[in-house]
Each structure stands twice: as C-alpha cells, then as structure tokens.
Amino acid sequence: MAKLAFLGLGVMGYPMAGHLAAAGHSVCVYNRTGAKADAWAAEHGGTAATTPREAAAGAEFVMACVGNDDDLRSVCLGDDGAFAGMTSGATFVDHTTVSAAVTAELHEAAKVAGLHFVDAPISGGQAGAENGQLSIMCGGEQSAYDAAEPVMAVYAKLCRRIGASGAGQMTKMCNQIAIAGLVQGLSEALHFADKAGLDGAAVVEVISQGAAGSWQMSNRSGTMLEDHFDHGFAVDWMRKDLGICLKTADENGASLPVTALVDQFYKDVQKMGGGRWDTSSLFKRLREFG
C-alpha cells in the first residue's frame, strides 16, 4: 500500500479519497476549508493537513481535484504548495478539469522539481465518484502513468493513457463537447414531445432502445420531465469547461458551432438563477423560453 495525499475534497474528491483509504492506502488530505478535511479524516481514519505542502510531504502520489486553473496553481506552487513538499521522483496526479496551458506549465514545473506529472481529468459525475466508477483520461509519460494507474484504479471503471502531457485534458474537452450537444438534443426532443401532446416518458421508452439512446437519455430524461435539476454536474462548472473548450478551439482551429451555441444556452440558465442546477436544465430553459 502507498503513502498518498489528496488535495481538494469537493463532491468528487471527498469520495475518491475515501476509496483510497478503504483500499488500505495511507492518505493525508488537504482542503481549503479545513473543517472538511478534519471531517474526512474522522470518517475515514486518515490524517488532515493545513497546507498542500504538509499533505504532500513523503507521499509517493499526490492526487488533486480542485476547481480551476488558479486553484490548481495554488495547491501546486509556492512555499506552501505540494511541489515544495514532494520528494524527488514522486508523482502528482491532477484530476481537475483545467486548460491545457496550465497543464503544460505545471508539467514543466514538476519536471524542474524532479517530479512526475499526470493530467487525469475524470468523467462520471458525483455518482461515479461515490461508486468508484469514474472514467479517467490521462496524459503524461508512460512510466508515470504506469506507476499511478493501480492507485487510480481504486475509483475507476476505466483508466487510459491517451498520450503525452495535456492529452488527458484535451480528451476531457472532447467529452464535454459531446455532452453539450447530447443534452441539448435530448432537451429539444422532450420539448417537441411536450408541444406535440405526447407522453414524454413513453416516447423515451421507445426511442431509447434505438439509435437515439444515450447515457443522458437513460439517466436524466426522467428527472428532466419531473422538473428536477438539483443533482449531478452544475451548469456553472459546465460553462467553465466549455469556456476552456472554446478557447482551445480558437487556438487549434477547431470549429465548434454547436458547442458555442449551447454555451450561450447555459448562460441563459445562469440568468434564470440555475447556475447550480444540473446540466440537464437546458430542458427547463426550453420550457421557459420555448
């Protein structure tokens, strides 16, 4: 079993760190709100640190799942950052969805410090984290990935290295681009069914068995029809991710017209007060404005 640190105990990080402790690893956690780290330690039998550096001291692997580029920099860099506390040869695994630019920056900073860095964003939502059924898409040196993969496997149903540093984040962008279009398509289908006077649940039962079927349809159509949007991945987080996608597309020349349009639809949801609603609330926007 390994000595680990986990930085960031949000809706994803808290259960992920719990799986590591349950698997027998020695886990020290850090969270910006210290009380949450103390609560995790009391629940799971690990330890809590007051800084990322303290949490990372002596750890073979340091996992992070924080909010955005700036949050990730803050837990990695500086006198109290994890890199300052890590031992040469240790590996930092970043589960945050961030820009490829900050990944490149931190990968280089890790290399200078004699550390390994794996970008490993996750998909599967809160339920996936709680059930240990996340999909993890990774970038970085093969040797660093090979060392970290057995640790990540504790909370993954699928973990794969896609390529060099940054490839994991680029793959996560593909994931969010695909989801944006799927959720809007499902929302429009349910909206159309409603306007046509059809039983939405019956429509879904039939079309989900054919080519229209998707994870979103199987797991979100029922709650959408019930006007229930207080679960899952929040609109605010999706807009952050789509912003990264659109900025990267400007840089690499990709054309993302549907993604750009759906991003504006999510902006409408935010204006409705739905920033913390689940991403399937695109359907609620259609009910309001359609």
Q: Which domains does the chain have, with CATH numbers?
A: 3-164 (3.40.50.720), 170-289 (1.10.1040.10)
In whole angstroms, give the CA distance from residue 69 to residue 116: 19
Of 67, 66, 45, 63, the closest CA to residue 55 belongs to: 63
List pLDDT tens digits, range 228-255. Answer: 998 778 999 999 999 999 999 999 999 9
Q: Which residue is it, tokens 């698997």?
A: 23
Q: Are 26 and 2 in contact (CB under 8 A)?
A: yes
Alpha helices by DSSP H, listed for the chain, are 13-22, 34-44, 52-56, 69-76, 82-85, 100-112, 125-131, 142-152, 167-195, 200-207, 215-225, 235-252, 257-271, 282-289
Token pair in block for residue 277: 């609603």
User: Cα 71 to chain center, whole Å?
Assistant: 14
User: Which amino acid would we find at residue 135?
Assistant: S
pLDDT at 239: 97
Quick one: which of 242, 239, 232 has its CA closest to 129? 232
Q: What is the pLDDT of residue 231?
A: 79
Which of 7, 3, 53, 65 minimizes the C-alpha distance to 31? 7
Residue pLDDT, tens place only, 135-179 = 999 999 999 999 999 999 999 999 999 999 999 999 999 999 999
Q: Is 172 a catalytic residue?
A: yes
Given 3, 172, 240, 247, which residue is catalytic? 172
Termini Cα distance of the chain: 55
- Classified as helix, coil or strand, 226 is coil
* pLDDT tens series, the chain, 290 aa: 899 999 999 999 999 999 999 999 999 999 999 999 999 999 999 999 999 999 999 999 999 999 999 999 999 999 999 999 999 999 999 999 999 999 999 999 999 999 999 999 999 989 999 999 999 999 999 999 999 999 999 999 999 999 999 999 999 999 999 999 999 999 999 999 999 999 999 999 999 999 999 999 999 999 999 999 987 789 999 999 999 999 999 999 999 999 999 999 999 999 999 999 999 999 999 998 86
